[in-house]
Each structure stands twice: as C-alpha cells, then as structure tokens.
Amino acid sequence: MMKTRLLPLSLLLLVTFSPAFTQKIYEVKECIKTGLEKNYSLLITRNSEEIAKNNHTIGNAGYLPTLGLTSRYGGTLNDVRTNLTDTSTFSNDVLNTASNAQLTMGLTIFDGFSVTTNYRKLGELKKVGELNTQMSIENLVADIVSGYYNYIQQVKLLNNLEYAVTLSKERLRIDEDRYLLGSSSKLQVLQSRVYLNADSSRLSKQGEVVRAAQVRLNELMAVEDLSGHFDTKDTTIEVDHNLLYEKLFEETMEKNTSLLIASSNKTISEYDYKLIKSRSYPYLTASSGYNYYYNTYSSGSTKNQQTNGLSYGLTLGFNIFDGLNQRRSIRNSSIEVMNRELRYQEIEQGVKADLITIYSAYSNYLRLIELEQQNLSTATENLSIAMERYKLGSLSGIDLREVQKSLLDARESLLSVQYQTKLAEISLLLISGRIMEYYN
C-alpha cells in the first residue's frame, strides 16, 4: 500500500524536473545577458544616466547666449465728447493701435568663473550617472550569478534527497523480504516505512525550494514567463581557488564603484563651493536687440508712425552686501566639502573591512571543501559496508539509519560549503570591480 502512495509523488517530481520538460538550458553568461537587457531596475538607472548625459551641455552651463523674440499688438478705442465755448457739442470715436516686435540677445561675459565651474560640475554629475549604472549592473550580475548557482545547489540537494528515498526504499524491501521469511519483525518493517515517509516528505518540500529558486532567477532576468521551466548547463558548483588578497586589494582601491562614486561626490561638493565663491566676483553681461514699433492714430495730424532700430549695452555689477548670506553659504559649503571627504574615508574603510572579512571566509571555505570531500568519501564507504552488514543481519536498523544520515549530511554539508565559497568568490569579484568576468 505504501508503494502505491509513493508512486504519484515520484511521477510528479519526474515531470516537474525532468530535462524532457524544460523549455531552455541556461548557462550563466546567457542569464546575465538576458538580465542586462530586460531587468526593470537597471533600465530605470540607465534612463537616469541618460538624463545626466543630456544635462551635460555648454548651453546648460551658460556658455551660449540667449535669444528671444516677442511681439505684441494692441490698441485703444475711446469715445471722445467735446464741448466748445459756443455751447456746441460734438463727439467721435478715437481708435489708436500699437504693434511692436523685439528680438533680444543676452550673453554672460564674466560671472566669477561660475560658467566654467558649472560645466565641470555637470560633467562630474554625468560621471556619477555612469557609475550608478555601473554599480547597478555589477549588483545585478552578482545577484544573477548567485541565483544561478543557488538553483544548482538546490537541484543537487533534491538529487541527494532522491538518493535518500532510494536508500529507504531498498531498506524497506530488505525488511519486507525478511518479514516474509520470518527473520524480521513487523516493527522493523513499520520503522522502515516511517523513514521512507520522512525522506519522501523532505523530497517533496525540496521540490518547492527548487521551484522558488527557478522563479527567482526568472525574476532577476525579467523574462516574460516567470513560471517558465529551465535547466542549467552547469551541474556542479566550481569555485576559483586562485584569488590573491594583494591583487584584490590593489584592484579594489582602483576600481571599486562605491569608492569611485564617493570620490566624484567629493569633487562635486568642491565645485559647489567654487560656485558659491564666484558670487563674490563682479559680473559682466552683454545684451543687444532689434526693435520694431508701428502705431496708428485715428485723430490728430499724425496718421501712423513706424520706428525700428538696434539697441545694445553692457551691464557690470557687483554684490556689495547681501545680509552676510554669502559668508554663511561659503562656510556651509566648506563644511559639506569636509563631510564628503569624511564620507569617502568612511566608505574606503568599510570596503577594506569587507575585503578582509570576505577573503578570510573565502580562504577558510576552501580548506573546508577539502575536509568535506574527505568526509564524504569516508561516509560513502561506510554506507557501502553498513548495507552489506544490514543485509547479513549484523547491523541494527537504527545504526543503518545513522550511517545513511551521515552520508546525506556529508553531501549537504559539502554542497553548502561549495555554495558559500562561491558566494564569497562573487563578493570578492564584486568589491574589486571584476564581477563582469562572469560575462566576458
């Protein structure tokens, strides 16, 4: 009866995770490529970068002159009533119209170097936009690679539990045969079925974990069908054993995106300080224009009048006193420059601390992989010996279960250490600016 109940579960897992039913076979580069093209958060960041690029123009900085055209047409309509000295009266309607057009141009000749400083600031903001996009790309690549290998880990754990079910089925078969031959008790058979049920339950739960990992990777890649099934080209978690701390440290100080953004923000605060200081200088502006006027009159000796001509001028100004606001702004700006410098040092210190911590964990995980591999080899040999002894009746069911559990735990432990090592590797490449090596 137990065999009949287990059949649907086995078929369900076979249908869900069999390669025959997967739609695609992904490799890590393909996952990254898809994510870089479709991920919504990354697309938003790229749009922000495009805005910063559009703002970096000489016109936005103030180098170019301004040119404007205005025109107006208007008039007055008055009812004029005139009383003469001879007591006679007459009235008439007076309509006067006025038309004008003006073409004006303005140019800042000198404004305390603010135009040049503003253009450089816009260039730095453009750089920050590019760095923000780069950071988003690096974080997305790290998430996709982590999700990719997490899926592999969960599939391997699923296979491990399938092996556990296979072992439990074999044990149940042996106990049932013994019971039929009278060499084993009913209690032993029932206990074997309990173990089989427990392993089958864990297998079913792990199937849900695998499915969740699959959906998560689909989400990171922003594919249309989040429920789509796939398989991975890689079936094991391979780690890089050759990462050197000295090289990683040098690359981190040179390429870490967080440090580069902090450095640019510090430069921007220095430009803001210069822009405020520029208000202390005199300013010189030039203006010119062409004016056209046309007026009509319905009374008087003049019927219409037309005027047109060129106007021009230079304006020189200097802020003598503004309630000490200039002085206050300069002090606040200098404090902001100091804060940005402190912020850079804080981020630099945090990056160094993360590098030391992650590399220490990475080195330790590499040693643990060797130990876990040895442990797995020993546990595999122990199970082989234990199964033979159990078939001969010289090993109890509880002892066999412990040996089986030791093997399964050894497999899971090795998988866990391999995945943790991979995560440390991904973090080290991310912090040192080398994460795109997974894509190139």
More confident residue, 95 or 156: 156
% of the chain residues with pLDDT over 90 = 71
Q: What's the mean per-residue pLDDT of the chain?
A: 89
| pLDDT range class, residue 181, cuts 50, 70, 90 | confident
C-alpha–C-alpha distance, residues 371 and 378, integer Å: 11
Lowest mean pLDDT among 37-46, 293-302, 401-410: 293-302
pTM of the predicted model as reported, rounded to 2 decimal places = 0.85
Mean pLDDT value of segment 181-198: 87
Q: What is the pLDDT of residue 2?
A: 37
| pLDDT range class, residue 23, cuts 50, 70, 90 | low
Mean pLDDT value of segment 248-265: 96
| pLDDT range class, residue 120, cuts 50, 70, 90 | very high
Mean pLDDT value of segment 255-274: 96
Mean pLDDT value of segment 353-380: 96
Instruction: Tokens for 52, please give them.
Output: 């910063």
* pLDDT score of 357 more than 60: yes
Q: What is the pLDDT of residue 174?
A: 87
Question: 181 to each of 124, 170, 177, 185, 397, how far by Cα in Å?
Answer: 85, 17, 6, 10, 17
Mean pLDDT value of segment 366-390: 93
Mean pLDDT value of segment 54-68: 93
* pLDDT score of 183 more than 80: no
For residue range 319-348, what is the model confidence (pLDDT) as tens digits? 888 889 999 999 999 999 999 999 999 999
Mean pLDDT value of segment 355-363: 97
| pLDDT range class, residue 16, cuts 50, 70, 90 | very low
Architecture of domain 2-66+112-288+322-438: Up-down Bundle (1.20)
Mean pLDDT value of segment 72-98: 78
Question: 186 to each of 281, 286, 402, how far by Cα in Å?
Answer: 100, 106, 21
* pLDDT score of 11 more than 70: no
Q: What is the pLDDT of residue 434?
A: 95
